[in-house]
A and B are shown apart, each in its own frame.
Chain A
Amino acid sequence: MKTMMNVQQKFLSYKNCPGSAMLRIMVLLSAVLTFGVLLFLILHIVVQGLPHISLSTFAWNYTTENASVTPAIINTLVITLLSLCFAAPLGIFSAIYLVEYAGKKSRFVEIIRITTVTLAGIPSIIYGLFGMLFFVVSCGLGFSLLAGSLTLTIMILPLIIRTTEEALLAVPDIFREGSYGLGAGKLRTIFRIVLPAAVPGILAGIILSVGRIAGETAALVYTAGTVAQLPGSVMSSGRSLAIHMFTLANEGLYMEQAYATAVILLLFVVLINAFSYYLAKKFVYA
């Protein structure tokens, strides 16, 4: 009864302001549209794709008949691991320098901030071009998983630097002061006190970059190449899962397999997000 009254009252108050009513409708409509599109996208791909996932989708070797995703998944794993091996230490160390050593208003910090923002805004195809010119041709790596990983390293660096910076800044100064008070040096304080406290935040950033790597296409086409077979070593060329899917969909011959690959990619993204969310939540309470 009370809610009825409320609704009625609301309705009456809007009668005098048709503009407000219109805006309210626009807001609600936009929200429904945004989340409706997401829901529809996920449902469409899952419903159409699930039936096409079978054992042959995961066959060990790629043939033109099964269009297996296993080599692509292995390539993606190798690229992800390699990129993280390069980018995680680099990114975390840069963030440590920015937060713990450089003064907050120093010129150097400002330059680095500008460059990381610039790097974050560069589209992946530019990274791909640069990777092709620098790592593939100038460094002589050829189309290889290594060249692809190095390219992606530069691409995810700003993300790791930013999230680590935030995580380090969130560690209260009392932690550092307490450690100094007990006679620990700066280095020991950073590695024993500050970093452990910041681990969940740093991990959340690293996991987000895993998501970016797994979905990357444009930066890898002309650095890691598009060979569909299992890689022999990090110097051999191989297509990632996203490139695999792009090729399948673009050739138009393997739509069913493309649907199946899309389901795998989507599932991966949702899992990555859930995990990063879980860590971030843990971090807030800690």
Chain B
Amino acid sequence: MIRQAWNEKIMQGVFFVAACTSVLAVAFICIFLFHNGTLALSEIGIWDFLSGTVWRPNIEIFGIFPMIVGSVYITAGAVLTGVPIGIFTAVFMAFYCPKKLYRPLKASTDILAGIPSVVYGFFGLVVIVPLIRDLGQFLGMGGNGNNILTASILLGIMILPTVISVTEASLRAVPSLYYEGAAALGATHEQCIFKVVVPAAKSGILAAAVLGMGRAVGETMAVIMVAGNQARIPSDIFQGVRTLTANVVIEMGYAADLHRDALIATGVVLFAFILIINLFLAYLSRSK
């Protein structure tokens, strides 16, 4: 009897320790990143680092403003292309989809979510890049197709599954009384959906957009394959840019000393962006 009680206690301890690992992991990630990142920040100067427009590691000039601009542009582009289409598709899934089609289509969005980012990047490289190159030449903008527009379209596709599934869930969470009430007043199917159900689900839809944004900011490999990766501030969407994520992956392989620390600091800036997005999400889910 006593031995059994001991077993219970020991295993409860084991479960507790396991539950603590995720807390520990977050703490370790924060400590290691911020500790190593601040090394470079204190040497370069936080303001020079964030607002410097020149990135030339070979002569020790480290300004990541072009990369911040690049990440912001591409994320904004992805949100502009992916979120509206995602929301409309979610409306389709929730209100229009024939019953027989629903299961296969739902499975398709799961597959869309499961496709690795390299495969998306490759698809962008061999299909979207040539298309945009031709479009650029047609419009007289030139360029080789590796640019903001291409990356935005590709990331727009990549955030679709996130936006669709979260939006659909929040649309389905709206009581059907809302729809029925509107329909009883003589509204069309579309008026019921877009004037009554969608506004009622707006906090969930906003969360979907923010989640998609988080995915777009953090995407790395696919962006490297199609965005051109030039570390300068672009003047139009047919120019290539480098994102914060790309900066880390491209140069980490051969970086040393201050250069390496500067790359880690780039990661810290990215991490700060993600934490802000997460905080906003937590706020959204609390206000619901």
Contacts and interface: CB of A to CB of B under 8 A. Distances in A.
B63 interface: no
Interface string A113-137: 0111111011111111110111000
Residue among A27, A128, A255 with max Cβ neighbours from chain B (10 Å): A27
A21 B194 CA distance: 12
B114 A45 contact: no
B105 to A, nearest CB: 6
B267 A118 contact: no
B114 A30 contact: no
B188 A14 contact: yes
Contact of A124 (B105, B111, B194, B220): B220
Interface in A189-209: 208
Nearest to B15: A97
B92 interface: yes
A17 B195 CA distance: 14
Given A93-B15, A119-B25, A126-B274, A134 B32 contact: yes
Contacts of B33: 126, 129-130, 133
Contact of A125 (B84, B96, B123, B220): B220
A121 B281 contact: yes
Contacts of B123: 41, 44-45
A138 B8 CA distance: 36
A100 B32 CA distance: 33
B85 A34 contact: yes
Given A121-B281, A126-B270, A262-B122, A94 B188 contact: no
B19 A93 contact: yes
A218 B222 CA distance: 10
A90 B18 contact: yes
Contacts of A31: 88-89, 92-93, 96-97, 105
A269 B88 contact: no
Contacts of A130: 28-29, 32-33
B230 interface: no
Interface residues of B, number: 84
Contacts of A250: 224-225
B105 A35 contact: yes
Contact of B220 (A21, A28, A218, A273): A218
B28 A134 contact: yes
A200 to B, nearest CB: 17
Interface string B215-256: 101111100110000000000000000000100110011000
A187 B119 contact: no
A111 interface: yes
A269 B92 contact: no
Contact of A262 (B119, B264, B271): B119
Nearest to B210: A121
Given A117-B278, A123-B220, A112 B116 contact: no
Interface stretch (A60-68, A154-162, A169-177, A228-236): A154-162
Interface of A is mostly: helix
Contacts, number: 241
A114 B279 CA distance: 10
Interface in B189-224: 189-191, 193-194, 211, 214-215, 217-221, 224
B11 interface: yes
A187 B8 contact: yes
Interface string B75-113: 000000000111011011100110000000101111110
Given A215-B115, A265-B116, A90 B127 contact: no
8 contacts: A34-B86, A97-B16, A124-B220, A128-B249, A133-B264, A134-B28, A249-B225, A270-B111
Interface of B: 4, 7-8, 11-12, 14-16, 18-19, 21-23, 25-26, 28-29, 32-33, 36, 84-86, 88-89, 91-93, 96-97, 105, 107-112, 114-123, 125-127, 157, 160, 164, 188-191, 193-194, 211, 214-215, 217-221, 224-225, 245, 248-249, 252-253, 264, 267, 270-271, 274-275, 277-278, 281-282
4 nearest interchain CB pairs? A123-B218, A215-B116, A30-B88, A93-B18
Given A116-B22, A266-B115, 17 more contacts: A41-B119, A44-B123, A44-B127, A90-B18, A94-B15, A97-B19, A114-B282, A121-B281, A123-B214, A123-B217, A125-B218, A127-B29, A129-B248, A246-B225, A249-B121, A255-B126, A273-B110
Interface of A: 13-14, 17, 19-21, 23-24, 26-31, 33-35, 37-38, 41, 44-45, 48, 89-91, 93-94, 96-98, 100-102, 108, 111-112, 114-119, 121-130, 132-134, 138, 154, 157-158, 161, 185-187, 208, 211, 214-218, 221-222, 242-243, 245-246, 249-250, 255, 258, 262, 265-266, 269-270, 272-273, 277
